[in-house]
Amino acid sequence: MALFPAFASAAEPGEPPTGSSEGSRKELDWLSNPSFSTEDALLLHQRATEVANLIPEKSPLIRTTSKSELSGESDTDESLKQSSKKRKKKKKKHHNYKKTKKKTKGDSSSSESDRDTKHIKDKAEGSGRNHEKEGAANLDKKTSNLTSNCFVWLDDIQAFTAETFRIDKKPDPANWAYKSLYRGDIARYKRRGESCLGIDAKKQCITWDSSATKRKQLQRRPERYFTKNNVKMLNTDGIPVCNKSSPSDPTAFIPVFQMEPDDPSDTTDMNPLGIYDPSTTVWLQGKGCKSTDHEPVNMQQTIQEPGININSILMTKVEEHNKKVRENPRDINAWLEFVSFQDELMRGPSPYASKGEHEVRRKSLKLILEKKLAILERAIESNPSNVDLKLARLKLCTEFWEPPALIKEWQKLIFLHPNNPELWKKYLLFCQSQFTTFSVSKINSLYGKCLTTLAAVQDGSMVSHPLLPGTEEAMLAIFIQQCHFLRQAGHSEKAVSLFQALIDFTFFKPDSVKDLPTRGQVEFFEPFWDSGEPRIGEKGARGWKAWMHQQEKGGWIALKPDDDDDDEEIDEDQEIKDKSLPKWHIWLDFEYSREARHWLPWRPDKTKKETEEDCEDPERQVLFDDLGPSLIHLSNPDLQRQLLYSFLQFLGVPCTSKLFPSNLYFAMDENNIFESVLSDEKPLTSVSFPLSGFNSIGHMDTMLRGRHHIGHYKEGEEFIQNVFHVLFLLFSGKEKSNLSICWLQYEISKVVQCLEAKNKKKVKAQGRKSKKLAKNLLKEPDNRNHLSLWKLYAYLEWLLGNIDDARKVFDTALCTAGTGGCKSPQLCSLSLLYAQLEAELLESTEGAVISRAVHVLTKLAESGPYVPYSGQVLSVNVLKARKTYEHALQDYLSKTPVSDQDQVSDANQLVNLVGCYALFQYLTVGIDAAVLIYAQTSEKLEAPGPQKCENTGDSFGIQNFPTALEAITLLHTNLLRFHMKISVYPLNPLREALTEALKRYPSNQSLWRSYIHIQRKSHSASKARRFFDGVTRSTNSLEPWLFAIQAEQLRKKLTENVQRADVGEIHSTIPETGLTNRIVALFEHAVQSENGTHCPLLWRMYLNFLASLGKKEKSKGLFYKALQNCPWAKVLYMDAVEYFPDDLQETLDLMTEKELRVRVPVEELDLLLEV
């Protein structure tokens, strides 16, 4: 062996190769080495000894090598060269760590020696090459360099063979940059077992820290419910657990087997008190159950069963659906069920995967839609004339196709079914909500085309298609839909003109044109409309019929116009009051002002010699071409009356009946459905107007500003007055009295608004006008004995604070009413309101037996002449009255109505009777007695059929009154709220009554207002949230969504008020976090619902909420998203002007492009600002 192995191949010239045995012996003689120096050898020995003594044993940079390793490393030159080549290859492939990792794991036992070998081989090979080039002269220099790099050879130091080290003093700069050593420099090994040789097991132990086990633990963390595997597991159906011993009874009890413990000593330690059963004790010891050891096969089967069962269930369902549609391809419901089943099929595991493999499927929406589309196309092939299947197909295609292509498909469908009014409604709503193709003129002409086509079908002039039942009703619904569309787009003049024209066309039609088809009648109507004659609501209106008669005689005689004493109202919007305000603010003020003053169509005043050219705003003039196609023929008297009441509600006059079907949610745009100030203060007599949520004409402002004024300006009030005067000429008797009630209710609603605004001056002024009207109405001969009008007049006096005057009115009305008693509906209603108002004055139920309210109810039951209250009520009279009420109630509950009209009057009478009896029992006995009456009546009225349980407002008729059960429930809840106000009473009975009522009537706004009012006081919101969630899933009504959002917003407001209170440190008692995210989630779900997508009110609330959080970018994105669904709603654009004032010009340009009404152009505003 050579002294310097690295130079073994460098033989001197003339010497034989070193492969022979002689050569090796010669090399062992160090004296023959020419490069040897005695001084160098001593110096090297001394240095190695010092270093070995100084460096500690456990240094990470020093590695111990054995004699066999050193000798084995330098055996052959061949292995050195091969190792060097491998090292170079590994350096090239260093970036691909995973491949090298596998190799090192495969040979981990020799990894340590390999690394040292490679290092020495590289050095040796390099030195050998240098020696060949430079010869023996440079050999001394290289050898001294090597020895100075601290390579220590075993042959040199015989004394320290026990511990020999290799020392590397070359610094690694990577250690300064990184926290730890490079992983490739640390040897890897596999440890078998956790034991260690040579330690005393009783006194010593070793804890092995392994990074591999930590990595495995991190991977095995428990997964959350939303992870992919758990979602998949939750979507699968569970397997019912049952006792195998009794398969006949699936709900049999599964016993826990008793176990005998193995070690009694352990048991006493674990169970010192002897209170655990054996199975629990075994579990505490950490031992398993015996039965689990004996049945590993069964356990495995149960693990595998769910997947197999789910697959088999899904396969069975697929086969069933296929069988249904194959055997009966005409069954439309079967096809639609098969389409909706595809969602369930995609949620579970694939039923087509083989038993041993789990197919990993990406839940692609497009895949589901394509499957559904294929099924629907098969269904349409079997049923080519079915509309429902085609509609379902079009609904799916909205995900794939562009709007122009969709509109073409819709046009084909309408062309095939022009007589289907429901299809027309859907088509109109679709076109109305397509932002890219939307413009007001296009949609208005489309409404005209729709009504013209349906009128042709109704007349019989379209021979190809028969008249479907309910077409006339649907035509009126589409007409009202068109008027609301124009109102929301800002074209209020056109909407008012449409109503004026149709009322004239319906009620003042000359006899000479009645036999003509609708289009022929319209042609005769056009000359009257363009003649300049006064129309409905204008002063001196006589109607189409009178005009035709006069034309036949030779025209009107020109009369000298009366000089109006009132000065013309000055337009306040011609000048800017405060120019320091921002431009957007001034624009909103101007726009609102003109909207409120100029909603009537402009007509040239002939007395002032005005012409059409004198109109400053041409948009205020309405041409006959805009409304002629929309005129329809209404032959049903109920529908004719409904047209009138719809017009009155459109003007802001509240009517008793709910006139709008559920598909008019897109007309909801006013945030007044949550306002209930007066009903909170006076729960018994709260006034609920059916049309809350809809903006009346002339009131269009942003969400934050709200209404500026109550009622209308002078011109508008005169218009409403003229409308009533014309309608009074049309009707007589009961219908005329109903119109009088509507007018007085309108006046009361204005007083209520003034009271809620807490403006005493306005209340006084409005009260004077309202009382004057009420007295004038009661002076009419037909109305003198009309108790409903007397009731409203007395209520008006009560609201104004004139309680003594109101009592006199009530007493006068009751004295003149006669002796009808409980059998008179009007007398019952009057007595109930009087008693409720008196009961609200009571501060507690003590002494209520001798109150004026009990006196009124007792006199009603006696059926005798009314005597005013004198201060006492006899006990005998109270007992008699109780018996009378009881018998009267039993008679009404057992009565069967003959006709629909009788049913309505009987329902109203029953409600009033139950209200009187319950209030009487409450005042004389207590709350429990009153609740019992409501409970008994509700049980009787709860019919087995679904017709009474479902009152979602889908029917569209004049007799669509709230059912008796709904009204009685409202009385019940109001009484409970009143009782809780004046005394201590648990909340649970009221909550239960409201939840039961709301499940049955999910669209009743009064009940929802009461519900969120009581829930607002509750500490925990979880019950209310569960209830809201349940109702929203079970109904299509939008009210549950709106009130759920309102409840959360009230809760958020309350929490913020508590946290912002300046009272030092706050420990919040309302543990609420994430309310903002919850409200956003509710909004997102609501706007995705069928009725919520196109509801402007919902989008306005959402936009207002995001803007209140200060999220401007998100709010702007939401605004454009809202426009995609409701591009016709002008209020959305006005809200955007307030939230994004910098984009005023952009918003107005968008409104102009879509042809929405802009009453104040920016150019005009700039001119006014300059002036």
Q: Express each pLDDT in 1110-1143 by its tens digit.
A: 889 999 999 999 999 999 999 999 999 999 999 8
* Top-confidence residue, 663 or 715: 715
**Coil/strand/helix, residue 64:** strand
Interval 510-566: pLDDT, tens: 888 888 888 888 998 888 888 888 888 888 888 888 888 887 776 655 444 444 444
Q: Are 487 and 695 in contact (CB under 8 A)?
A: yes
pLDDT at 1049 over 80: yes
pLDDT at 1066 over 60: no
**Residue 249: what pLDDT?**
53
| Helix or strand run (H / E) with residue 63 | strand 63-64
Q: Give 3-state DSSP helix, strand, coil % of the chain, rounded to 5.
A: 60, 0, 40
**Chain-centre distance for alpha carbon 277:** 51
pLDDT at 585 over 50: yes
- Give the pair of three-digit tokens for residue 421: 């009014």
**Residue 98: what pLDDT?**
42
**Residue 252: what pLDDT?**
54
Interval 106-157: pLDDT, tens: 444 444 444 444 444 444 444 444 444 444 444 444 444 444 445 556 666 6
Interval 948-957: pLDDT, tens: 333 333 333 3
Dihedral pair phi/psi, residue 657, rounded to 5°: -100, 150
What is the rounded (10 degree) CA torsion for 1052, 1058, 1062, 1067? -130
Residue partners of 613: CB distance under 8 A and separation at least 6: none
pLDDT at 1031 over 80: yes
CB neighbours of residue 117 within 10 Å = 20
* Top-confidence residue, 845 or 139: 845
**Residue 690: what pLDDT?**
56
Dihedral pair phi/psi, residue 63, rounded to 5°: -130, 135
Interval 11-57: pLDDT, tens: 444 444 444 444 445 455 555 566 667 777 788 788 877 766 665 44
Q: What is the mean pLDDT of the chain?
A: 76
- Give the pair of three-digit tokens for residue 298: 């069964």
CB neighbours of residue 682 within 10 Å = 18
Burial class (CB in 10 A: 0-12, 13-18, 19+), 427: buried
CA nearest to 394, candidates 419, 378, 377:
377
Q: Are 388 and 336 in contact (CB under 8 A)?
A: yes
Residue partners of 138: CB distance under 8 A and separation at least 6: 130, 131
Rounded to an integer, the average pLDDT of 923-947 is: 79
Q: In the structure, what pLDDT confidence band is assigned to residue 907 with cuts at 50, 70 and 90? A: confident
Buried b (16+ CB within 10 A) or exposed e, 69-97: ebeebbeebeebeebbeeeeeeeeeeeee
Rounded to an integer, the average pLDDT of 274-278 is: 78
**Residue 496: what pLDDT?**
93
Q: Which amino acid is at 550?
A: Q
Residue partners of 194: CB distance under 8 A and separation at least 6: 206, 208
Q: In the structure, what pLDDT confidence band is assigned to residue 500 with cuts at 50, 70 and 90? A: very high
pLDDT at 216 over 70: no
Dihedral pair phi/psi, residue 643, rounded to 5°: -60, -45
pLDDT at 442 over 90: yes
**Coil/strand/helix, residue 165:** strand
Interval 403-441: pLDDT, tens: 888 889 889 998 988 888 989 999 999 998 888 889 999
Residue partners of 805: CB distance under 8 A and separation at least 6: 797
Q: Are 814 and 831 in contact (CB under 8 A)?
A: yes
Residues above pLDDT 70, as percent of the chain: 71
CA distance 752 to 768: 14
Rounded to an integer, the average pLDDT of 980-996 is: 89
Q: Are 506 and 475 in contact (CB under 8 A)?
A: no
**Chain-centre distance for alpha carbon 45:** 86
pLDDT at 300 over 50: no
| Helix or strand run (H / E) with residue 166 | strand 165-166
* Top-confidence residue, 224 or 1043: 1043
Q: In the structure, what pLDDT confidence band is assigned to residue 918 with cuts at 50, 70 and 90? A: very high
**Residue 200: what pLDDT?**
81
**Residue 482: what pLDDT?**
92
- Give the pair of three-digit tokens for residue 835: 């008693």
Q: Which amino acid is at 257?
A: F
Q: Are 693 and 1095 in contact (CB under 8 A)?
A: no
Query: What are the Cα distances from residue 411, in Å, to 388, 404, 423, 453?
Result: 16, 11, 11, 13
**Chain-centre distance for alpha carbon 929:** 41
CA distance 1061 to 1051: 16
**Residue 1105: what pLDDT?**
93
Per the DSSP assignment, residues forming a β-bridge with 165 are 64
**Residue 1016: what pLDDT?**
80
Rounded to an integer, the average pLDDT of 606-629 is: 78
* Top-confidence residue, 1094 or 269: 1094
**Residue 143: what pLDDT?**
43
What does the angle CA 736 – CA 630 – CA 420 come to, to the nearest 5 degrees?
A: 100
Residue partners of 228: CB distance under 8 A and separation at least 6: none
CA distance 966 to 863: 28
Its pTM stands at: 0.72
Q: In the structure, what pLDDT confidence band is assigned to residue 478 with cuts at 50, 70 and 90? A: very high
pLDDT at 692 over 90: no
Instruction: Return the top range by mean pLDDT from 230-234, 291-295, 607-611, 888-892.
Output: 888-892
* Top-confidence residue, 79 or 1097: 1097
Rounded to an integer, the average pLDDT of 901-923 is: 82
**Residue 570: what pLDDT?**
44
Minimum mean pLDDT among 62-71, 78-87, 342-351, 805-814: which range? 62-71
Rounded to an integer, the average pLDDT of 171-199 is: 78
* Top-confidence residue, 950 or 920: 920
CA nearest to 823, candidates 878, 887, 733:
887
For the chain, the residue count is 1171
| Helix or strand run (H / E) with residue 518 | helix 518-530
Q: In the structure, what pLDDT confidence band is assigned to residue 1003 with cuts at 50, 70 and 90? A: confident
